[in-house]
Amino acid sequence: MQLKTILNRCHKFKSFVYDQARFVGEAIEVTVLPRANAKAMCSHCAEPAPVYDHLAERRFEFIPIWGYRVFFLYRMRRVDCRDCGVKVERVPWARGKRELTDTYQQFLAHWAEKLSWLEVARSFRTSWEKVFQAVEFVVQWGLEHRDLSQVTALGVDEIAWRHGHNYLTLVDQIDADNTRLLWIGKDRTMKTLLRFFHFFGEQRSLKLQYVCSDMWKPYLKVIKKKAANALNILDRFHIVAKLNKAIDEVRAGEHRQLQKDGYEPVLKNSRWCLLKRKENLTEKQEAKLKDLLQYNLKSVRAYLLKEDFDGFWGYVSAAWAGKFLDRWCTRVMRSKIEPMKKVAKTMRAHKPLILNWFKAKKALSKALSSGVVEGLNNKAKVTTRNSYGFRTYRGAEIALYHALGNLPKPPMAHRFC
């Protein structure tokens, strides 16, 4: 069987034919010729046009086979288009000045869902930049072809980026039947979120029923203004994160104080015992926690306050939950633990928004109970953590859309992977 036969089976084009295939060093080169009676097409308007002249031969990289890189060789023609003038012709296997064929780009992008970009580059003996280009191509196609008409619930979130000095704002769709990353923006300012709503459009924004967010003021303001018909909900995950941050602050301060005063360092290695959910503790951490709870420490009291707050989410009625919240805040304010008091103050100030959680619970039960926002946030962190390669904003943006955007893919006549 010839290579030509295989190519004609999996990668055939109406107006072009495969000619000879041969080894050149460790690569296979396949010559492509235009079919005798087929017309060339203008790359600008996609209409057929008479041939003007021929350009020098170009190489297009295709999927490697059995460890050999594969290239198509083709002399691009220029056409004299009635509407556009003299233009390079359009070829169906690649676009613009790209060296990689569309199919090879989809192939690389497919593997980039499973491996890091560097691993993909090494596995297929190509460069990191080529993998980036490939993923960018597929993401771009997906963004242009995705359907945004059925979005009714949004989650607004942020992640630290580049060693925590910068933030990215992430907007997710959190509808029961579709959860995906919709949009990424630099920083976490009012302007950032305004840019999202500008992109999303007024009509779609007014159709939004729920927007789930953090207590971050710039976000709250913009959501109120732009998603006027939506119920703004403060996500459980964000509230727990705030409590955890306060506990961490208390623990770190107290640990330092104990050491300074020459006490036994009981809080050493206690960080995760106090922050993790009980059911996620390792045996060792559980023993440590049990031990800690015997001490009368600020950290322990802060931890117990956080644990108590968990009862809040079990309420069915917003009114009763509101009473619980009041009682809890009063206790925290009496605790004399400053970082916790700060959280309680913020929560008091946002009580109506926090109670919206109970109004949305039914409609968004899946998203709110299974922690969709939290899940997407964690995946986003993992995606950006391998920061080498994502030093540029564009790199991080493309990687995040690729991993979390649930984007449609360009159609392929044959499944190569």
Q: Does the protein bind Zn ion through residue 42 (CB under 5 A)?
A: yes
Query: How many amino acids of this chain bind Zn ion (CB under 5 A)?
Result: 6
Instruction: Check binding of 45 to Zn ion (CB under 5 A).
Output: yes
**What CA–CA distance (Å, rounded) separates 356 from 350?**
10
Specify the stretch interacting with Zn ion by CB under 5 A; choose among 37-45, 98-106, 130-138, 177-185.
37-45
The residue (of 38 and 65) whose beta carbon lies closer to Zn ion is: 38
Task: From 6-14, 82-90, 251-259, 359-367, give the range in contact with Zn ion by CB under 5 A.
Answer: 82-90
Contacts (CB under 5 A) with Zn ion, residues 208-237: none
CB of 127 to Zn ion, least distance (A): 33
Report the alpha-carbon distance of residue 232 to residue 245 in Å, rounded: 23
Backbone torsions φ then ψ of 324, nearest 5 degrees = -60, -45
Residues facing residue 155 across a β-bridge: 172, 212
Report the C-alpha gap between 87 and 40 in whole angstroms: 11
Kindly state the smallest distance separating residue 17's Cβ from Zn ion, in Å: 24
Select from 13, 15, 27, 44 the one that contacts Zn ion (CB under 5 A): 44
Candidates 77-85, 130-138, 296-304, 350-358; binding stretch for Zn ion (CB under 5 A): 77-85
CA geometry: angle 401, 403, 409, nearest 5 deg: 75
Collect all residues with Cβ–Cβ distance below 8 Å to 379 and sequence separation of at least 6: 403, 404
- Can residue 84 be called a binding residue for Zn ion (CB under 5 A)? yes
81 touches Zn ion (CB under 5 A) = yes
First to last CA, the chain: 22
Provide CB contacts within 8 A for 289, sequence distance 6+. 270, 273, 274, 281
- Judge contact between 30 and 3, C-beta under 8 A: yes
Q: Which is nearer to Zn ion, 42 or 380 (CB)?
A: 42
Segment interacting with Zn ion (CB under 5 A) among 80-88, 92-100, 244-252, 283-291: 80-88
Task: Give the nearer residue to Zn ion in terms of CB position, either 47 or 374.
Answer: 47
By CB under 5 A, name the binding residues for Zn ion: 42, 44-45, 81, 83-84
